[in-house]
Amino acid sequence: MSLSPSREVFITCAVTGAGDTTGRSDKVPVTPRQIADAAIEAANAGAAIAHIHVRNPETGKGARDVALYEEVVNLIKQSNTDVIINLTAGMGGDLTLGSVEKPLPPSDAGTDMAGALERLAHVEKLLPEICTLDCGTMNFGEGDYIMTNTPAMLKAMAAGIQKLGVKPEVEIFDTGHLVLAKWLYNQGLLDDPVMVQLCMGIPWGAPDDIATLTALTANLPTDWVFSTFSIGRNQLPYAALATLAGGNIRIGLEDNIWLDKGVLATNGALTERAVKIAESMGSRVLGPQEVREKLKLTKRW
């Protein structure tokens, strides 16, 4: 890897996600109050951006209820905490096939397919500064679940996000997804500066080895702004690798529940560790207003 370390970095904290982590850690926030508090905690620890999913408060499972998003966002607003809100728009593309011998009809358990406008309903109502755009389709896990984002769906969602004046964080899970992101950009559906998240180490996407990360960064347009992360035990080492590669950092309980071996993490503790890593490497951690200027965001409140 040719090193061009970031001298200034921003940190995104993905505070909860939609995965089955609540049974493995009681630190993972579930209710709107807990999710808002986690975002505030991360912001106070040094995160400029809080990436937010919501969960069903009764079951802990991922949800896309607009009212839950609204409650989280309002609680953060009421705290007067300066943090950039990044709402996921990845929900609603979940397809679980029936079985290996009878894939159709899809299984009701785990399938949640929605149209482009429905997937953006919470973004339209709440107008966060950023929302995600999962730039492609891929297998997840060892069963029959597929994260489904067709080119036609992505075109419609990108156009809708652009019309709302929200910055998409383009999530790249594999090398072909970067090709798709460039295709969207060439159609005028992604505005400068393009913001990219390189999501590494997720089966069965791009592995988190240095060669694959280098392949992705080498093919990014030089004026695109990128962050990168890995999951599990490699999350914190990737904070250093992201900085060395010239990018920005993502951490949080969406991707990893451990701070040290045998020590469950909180979002605040992970953020503090990421700040320490970046500063120990000679980088300055940017605050929310500096990130707004870098990404040409408009502060919503």
Instruction: Judge whether 228 lies within some domain.
Output: yes
Name, in order, each residue with C-beta under 8 angstroms of 93's C-beta and a sequence gap of 6 or more.
112, 113, 114, 119, 134, 147, 148, 149, 153
Instruction: Judge whether 2 lies within some domain.
Output: no
Which of 234, 267, 227 is CA-nearest to residue 250? Answer: 227
Instruction: Judge whether 301 lies within some domain.
Output: no
Instruction: Judge whether 3 lies within some domain.
Output: no
Pairing type for strands 145-147 and 138-139 reads antiparallel
CB of 296 within 8 A of CB of 39?
no
Instruction: Judge whether 69 lies within some domain.
Output: yes
Instruction: Judge whether 252 lies within some domain.
Output: yes
Structure tokens at 97: 């096939």
Question: What's the number of domains the chain is made of?
Answer: 1
CB of 274 within 8 A of CB of 10?
no
pLDDT at 2: 54
pLDDT at 200: 98
| CATH code at position 90 | 3.20.20.70
Classify residue 287 by its DSSP letter.
P
A 10 A CB-CB count for 257 gives: 21
Distance CA 208, CA 219 (A): 16
Full residue range of the structural domain in which residue 280 is found:
8-295
Instruction: Judge whether 271 lies within some domain.
Output: yes
Tell me the average confidence (pLDDT) per consecutive run of 10 residues in the chain, 301 residues long: 81 96 96 98 98 97 97 97 97 94 93 96 98 96 93 98 98 97 98 98 95 96 97 96 96 98 97 98 97 92 75
pLDDT at 5: 85
Which of 151, 171, 150 is CA-nearest to residue 254? Answer: 171
CB of 54 within 8 A of CB of 14?
no
CB of 249 within 8 A of CB of 11?
yes
pLDDT at 299: 82
Indicate the pTM of the whole model.
0.96
Please return the burial class of 2, using the count of CB atoms within 10 Å of its CB with bins 0-12, 13-18 and 19+. exposed
Question: 3-class SS at 225?
Answer: strand
Instruction: Judge whether 41 lies within some domain.
Output: yes
Question: Cα 207 to the chain's mean position, in Å?
Answer: 17
